[in-house]
Amino acid sequence: LSDELRSLTDIDRLIHEPARLMIVAILYTVESADFLYIKRETQLTKGNLSSHLSRLEDAGYIEIEKTYQGKVPLTICHLTETGRQAFETYRDQIKSFVDHTLD
């Protein structure tokens, strides 16, 4: 196996999953975003999104804050430093793999 292929075996599977990758990619560009925004952008169902957010929260990649805006419940998510570093590492690994192995 080449180094590039071998590096793929170390890839962070938690972020690699497409739905979670979209969530992390959104949160990487902002300070925070709420459940409604992420749901609209990812087109995930409420249940699916909740499940993915919980997995990311359990891994310490995101923090979730439940609050209210008037009487409307608001779930605000933001990427932790661990999550930010995990996304950057993942992005670098994929980029390196694509650069070295594909035309």
Partner 1 sequence: MMMTMDPDLKELQKRTKRYWYTDGLHEIAFGFICVVLSLYFLAQVLLPLDSLLANLLTAGFVLLVLGSAFLTRWIVTAIKERLTYPRTGYVSYAKPGARQNWLAAILGLLFATLLVAFFATHPASLAWMSAASGLVFAAVWAVLANRLGLSRFYLLAGAALIFGAIPTLTGMQEILGLATFYGLIGPAMFVSGGLTLKSYLENTQPATED
Q: Pick the binder of partner 1 from 14, 15, 35, 86 (CB under 8 A).
A: 35
Could you say whether residue 74 binds partner 1 (CB under 8 A)? yes
- SS3 assignment, position 80: coil
Number of residues that bind partner 1 (CB under 8 A): 30
Among 39, 59, 63, 96, indicate the residue that binds partner 1 (CB under 8 A): 39
Sign of the Cα pseudo-torsion (24, 29, 31, 35, in order): negative
Torsion over CA: 8, 101, 42, 25 (sign): positive
Interface residue list for partner 1 (CB under 8 A)? 16, 18, 21-22, 25-26, 28-41, 46, 69, 72-76, 94, 98, 102
